[in-house]
Chain A
Amino acid sequence: MRKVYIAVVVLGLIAVIGNHLTSPSSGRAVSPEDFAGACAPCGAPCPSKK
């Protein structure tokens, strides 16, 4: 199990760092709720806005 953990942590970290270095990062970290019209933590719209 330890070998699996080492593989998961190392590969996961490489993936996270790779994604960070190859993707745009336009300022402070945000949640989908920060966007206009969001009505839930995942950014779903309000029923009344449909």
Chain B
Amino acid sequence: MATDKKLFAAFSRRDLLKSLAGVPILGAVWAAGIDTTKKSKLEKDFWLEKLNIKASAPPASGPMSGAPLRIGLIGFGIRGEQLMRALGFATQEWMESMAKSAQEDPNDKRLEDFLAQENLNVKLTAICDIFDVRAEKALQSFNTEANPCKRYENYMDLITSGEVDAIIIATPDHWHAPMAQAAIEAGVHAYVEKPMTHTVSETYLLREAVRKNPGAILAVGHQHRQTLSFLTAQDAIAKNTLGHISLVVTNTNRNDDNGAWQYEIHPEASPETIDWNAFLGNAPEVPFNTEHFFRWRKWWAYGSGLSGDLLTHDYDRINCVLKMGIPKYVTASGGIYTHRDGRNVPDVMQVTMDFPDFSTGSSQEEGKEKGMSLVYSATLGNQFDRGTVLMGHDASMELGNILTIYADPRSTKYQDLIKEGRIDPQVPIYQYDPTAEGVDAVTSATAKYFANKGLLWTYRDGKRVDSTFLHIREWLSCIRNGGNPSCGINEGFDEAITAHMAGLSYKTGRKIEWDPVSERIISLPGEDLDAILLDNSVA
């Protein structure tokens, strides 16, 4: 007790001050921290409430119950393999190489993702590939006791075999429509890769076939329609966040062999292992050559170059968000500037699509709300990422897997907030990043290009999901449970006609006009549009 008393006696006011002076500093710093975070949260809530953009996932497609659907695949090439994995079928070779890759890089989740993928309750019963090596590769992995799978040499035999309920078409472009049409007319559901058709006339024939056979479901392979940020973008547009959009710019920038369609030529390819005439189909007769077979995208006879392979993706991404339909006018230019290797499709191409009567809404006085250009600009000789931007009077939106919106300094809608200093036009007023919680390991330059466009994967509940898987699942759900695919015949029709208008403008050097009343591309007297489109001479 005595010492205790002494303690207090010796502990002066001054000592107390020196002991506890840190406490108010602690309190002040802590309070300042709380205040700062609170203010930034209030600001964020203000914006979220003001913009009211809903980043909600679409209703999941229906159950995969019932008897297994029997699927047939036509074309087991690069895309065919990817589609099969989305369906739940991976080759032994792929599984082994992915297991090895995951061992080397723990961030490589491709195998893990595949194994975790939902079972779609399908059987792969039939396969058609006119290259023996690929057909046998498919059979080796997929023809098992649990899943008997048969090879067909001819696609018509596969469609009419009675062994398939639905087919997936992953062939060169010039076979898309004939096969899809044959399937639909036979009452077989079809998932066809983009572009939906290779010529103008095929586009009408396929639409006619689908209209006449409502029981057969057609889906076009624009898997980015499943991308979460695009669905969020639709909501932002619906809420008139951007005001009158006058210009949309979208691009392709690739600078690698794979991106320029220099696909690998298989060493076992020969007239003995490839049914050359089946490959040619309606294309002009030329002697067997592996370059045409494996790198068919480089010729108008089988592919459609930038306008069919890549503009279609970008056009459909914008059509999915804005629903602006077929452009009134299309002008295109470009040339073969980066790959003078005998190809006849351009590798640098600029396409301007005009929509003089289209409106996304307005914040200004009447009369200023109509008209928009969509500019697609592409090169296969540079991979600088230029992004996709929708430019409105009130704000600009960068559209990718991440969605970012910047207010325009001269906006009418936001002018008061800009004056008050609550908006800094350099700082996004809205950003939506479904990847915030995830890590992505992107392997190649081309893969990165596709991933940024929302073409490889998207997110559901913060988890990464293969967009193609979701797209195929949606198609299977429409077959099982009814409903319309997000990219069905009407969306495919818009996509195909627009791509063909771009091809025609490139080839004729003329502005190509669409007549929305007669639903025809306006041609000059005596002009055969398909002949121009398919013309194989180098411009």
Instruction: Check if A and B associate.
Output: no
Q: Spell out A's residues near B (CB within 8 Å).
A: none
